[in-house]
Amino acid sequence: MESRDGFGFLLGSTILSLLVFVLYQTQHDHRRPTWERTEIGQSLEGRPIHCFKHGPGQGGILFVASIYGSEDAGTPLMQALVDHLRRESNLARDSRILIVLVANPDGYDGKKRLNRNGVDLNSNFPADNRRNQARFGDRALSEPESRALHALIDFEQPDVIVSIHQPVTCVDYDGPEAAAALAMRMAQACHLPVKKLGS
């Protein structure tokens, strides 16, 4: 009888300890930012297109790098941003952040501007000023890479999209006045001029 009571006490204490541990881990993990890497699509040659996601819900900011494979400086820059935000967890605690490191994997691999079909992915999205032609695609979203990004944007509904390009040394923007204000802040931080390129 005493051994059973001792066993019951030990079992109860163990369960209580496990519950406290699980609750602590849940609260601790809730406070610590987590990054999820998901595959949002594949290139023409079957290379995965990944997105790093941080924070719950929708909205937030989407960073897109290397939509032109020959403009590849954005990829290590965005990887450094992910690494920095993982280390400095308080910086992004309450932020919704999405990062596509390589939007054009085939072009990135071959250091070519366009995708394997010779399409300018940046001009393959539906837009009022889009033209159907070989370089821009015979129709909007004709390419799997642009379809993957479009689906991501449609599903996540980011408030802001930052696309990293080169070699034009400026911060360009499009959209409402809030976009102009953000462009000015970004330009101050990276010491580049703001230029409205007009597209």
Q: Mind listing the pLDDT tens digit for each residue in 107-139?
A: 999 999 999 999 999 999 999 889 999 999 999
Least confident stretch, 20-29, 97-106, 149-158: 20-29
Give, as one character, the DSSP assignment of residue 166: -
Alpha carbons 134 and 141: distance in angstroms, whole number: 13
- Residue 34 has a pLDDT of 81
Strands (E), 33-176: 35-42, 48-54, 61-65, 97-100, 160-164
Residue 12 has pLDDT above 90, yes or no: no
